[in-house]
Amino acid sequence: MAKSSKNLPADIKPLGDRVFVKRLGAQEEKSPAGIIIPDTAQKEKSKMGLVIAVGAGRYGEEGDLIPMTVKVGSKVVFNAGWDNEIDLDDEEEYFLVKESDILAVIK
């Protein structure tokens, strides 16, 4: 049986201080006239997501590894633009962002 070439979230391992996030609660925004406004036309807004994978961390000035503070499974609020979106050929939205783009962890 041939193996599917479709990428899966489990196949992605972020490097450095990058965080792989699955967007939660994405909703289409509509104008008062009922026209759907695409994400690219909306003002920059923070997004809510679930951390799927994290990198090892970043290196400090002394060459020491500074580990990630965000953990897999955390629910987070983050900033991301269209250039951070990862297309995995499914219905979900995924983003690869720096840990510094994460604004808050929701408990």
pLDDT, one tens digit per residue, over 90-106 is 788 999 999 999 999 99
Residues 33, 83: Cα–Cα separation, whole Å: 29
Determine the 3-state secondary structure of 76 from DSSP: strand
**104 Cβ contact partners less than 8 Å away, ≥ 6 residues apart:** 76, 77
**46 Cβ contact partners less than 8 Å away, ≥ 6 residues apart:** 77, 78, 79, 103
Upper half-sphere CA count for residue 21 (Cβ side, 13 Å): 32
Report residue 103: phi and psi, to 5°: -90, -30
Predicted confidence at residue 39, as pLDDT, reads 57
Residues 1, 107: Cα–Cα separation, whole Å: 43
Reported as a single tens digit per residue, the pLDDT across 38-76 is 655 455 578 999 999 999 999 999 999 999 999 999 999
Beta strand 75-78 with 47-54: parallel, antiparallel or unpaired?
Answer: antiparallel
Whether pLDDT at 4 is above 60: no
- Domains of the chain, by residue range, sit at 14-25+36-106
Beta strand 85-86 with 102-106: parallel, antiparallel or unpaired?
Answer: unpaired
Among all chains, which residue has been given the structure tokens 């962890």? 105
- What is the model's pTM? 0.76
14-25+36-106 placed in CATH 3.30.413.10: no
